[in-house]
């Protein structure tokens, strides 16, 4: 029997989920089943989940519920397995800030974010138009231009940068013609300070390409090796900073670009 792990929230549950996963990641190999119960915004829903929890043997419960009555009910149902970070941290924060908390469910993602919302939508429009080198004339407006061979992770990274950070992220694929030269592609040269190169192990590139298009030269290990070698030489020659995406997630590639290369906090 896998141990049940409940993630409860009156809103999306993204924060409670991140916390639960970070803590559980310290116990590799531990079998558990994560059950998400977001949007618990009335007492009927809370009661139903409390009943679910009470049926389980030694469940873990990670909660970001804000309503005091809901939290009390869940605490009663969960026993010692409860991790309620509002309960644990809010009193100390009140003391440090010298004021009472004003708990309101879902404030985090409320209307106050509208400015950011529009910035992100504008960035996403930009990133989609400037995906895969389709349009290159407006690189002056880019915050960053990702460069790499086909299937090195440029598109998901650009979209993540736009969706999460509101950054206008263009991306440009290095094709054979670019890789045969010593110079940067002409459309990139004026924007060298905005470039970030993506690279990865040829064997992984080969696997990704094979999954997408099967066999043929495009997905051959020899071709992947040549492209990666040429791309890395080009980055070195023109001092383009590089991220190796072989073993890291999209979130991490994006966070590294933002932090290391754009100096955003």
Q: Which of residues 222-261 bind its own copies (CB under 8 A)?
A: 247-252, 255-256, 259-260
In the bound state with its own copies, the residue whose beta carbon lies nearer, of 22 and 193, is 22
In the bound state with its own copies, the residue whose beta carbon lies nearer, of 242 and 255, is 255
3-state secondary structure of 155: helix
| Interacting residue with its own copies among 54, 88, 176, 222 (CB under 8 A) | 88
In the bound state with its own copies, the residue whose beta carbon lies nearer, of 102 and 177, is 102
Measured CA distances, 14 to 17, 20, 175 (Å): 5, 10, 38
Sheet holding 144-148, edge to edge: 169-173, 144-148, 195-199, 242-244
- What tokens appear for 31 in the block? 């079998």
- What tokens appear for 236 in the block? 């070195």
19 touches its own copies by CB under 8 A: yes
Which 193-222 residues touch its own copies, going by CB under 8 A? 208, 211-212
Put residue 2 in one of left, alpha, beta given phi > 0 → left and psi -120 to 50 → alpha: beta
For the chain, the residue count is 265
Residues 6+ apart with CB under 8 A from 205: 149, 151, 152, 224, 227, 228
CB of 160 to its own copies, least distance (A): 6
CB of 180 to its own copies, least distance (A): 27
Residues 6+ apart with CB under 8 A from 114: none
The site that binds its own copies (CB under 8 A) totals a number of residues, namely 78
Which 112-131 residues touch its own copies, going by CB under 8 A? 113, 117-118, 120-122, 124-125, 128, 131
Which 28-87 residues touch its own copies, going by CB under 8 A? 28, 30, 34-36, 38-39, 58, 60, 64, 66, 80-81, 83, 85-86
In the bound state with its own copies, the residue whose beta carbon lies nearer, of 42 and 260, is 260
CB of 74 to its own copies, least distance (A): 16
97 touches its own copies by CB under 8 A: yes
104 touches its own copies by CB under 8 A: yes
175 touches its own copies by CB under 8 A: no
Measured CA distances, 216 to 179, 228, 263 (Å): 19, 17, 41
In whole angstroms, give the CA distance from residue 256 to residue 250. Answer: 10
A 10 A CB-CB count for 73 gives 18
CB of 218 to its own copies, least distance (A): 15
CB of 182 to its own copies, least distance (A): 31
| Interacting residue with its own copies among 2, 22, 115, 141 (CB under 8 A) | 22
Longest dimension (CA), the chain: 68
CB of 52 to its own copies, least distance (A): 12
DSSP 174: -
């Amino acid at each position: 029997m896998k141990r049940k792990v409940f993630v409860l929230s009156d809103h999306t549950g993204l924060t409670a989920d991140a916390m639960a996963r970070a803590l559980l990641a310290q116990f590799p190999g531990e079998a558990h089943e994560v059950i998400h119960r977001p949007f618990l915004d009335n007492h009927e829903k809370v009661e139903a989940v409390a009943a679910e929890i009470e049926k389980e043997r030694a469940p873990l419960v990670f909660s970001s519920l804000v309503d005091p009555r809901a939290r009390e009910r869940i605490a009663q149902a969960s026993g010692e397995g409860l991790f309620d970070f509002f309960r644990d941290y809010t009193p100390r924060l009140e003391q440090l800030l010298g004021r009472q908390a004003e708990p309101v469910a879902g404030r985090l993602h409320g209307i106050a974010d509208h400015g950011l919302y529009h910035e992100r939508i504008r960035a996403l429009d930009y990133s989609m138009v400037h995906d895969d080198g389709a349009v290159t004339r407006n690189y002056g407006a880019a915050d960053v231009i990702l460069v790499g061979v086909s299937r090195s992770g440029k598109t998901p990274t650009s979209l993540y940068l736009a969706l999460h950070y509101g950054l206008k992220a263009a991306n440009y694929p290095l094709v054979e013609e670019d890789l045969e030269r010593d110079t940067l592609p002409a459309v990139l040269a004026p924007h060298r300070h905005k470039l970030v190169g993506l690279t990865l192990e040829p064997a992984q590139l080969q696997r990704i390409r094979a999954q997408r298009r099967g066999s043929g030269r495009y997905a051959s290990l020899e071709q992947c090796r040549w492209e990666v070698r040429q791309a890395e030489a080009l980055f070195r020659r023109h001092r383009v900073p590089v991220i190796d995406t072989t073993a890291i997630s999209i979130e991490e590639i994006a966070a590294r670009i933002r932090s290391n290369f754009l100096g955003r906090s």
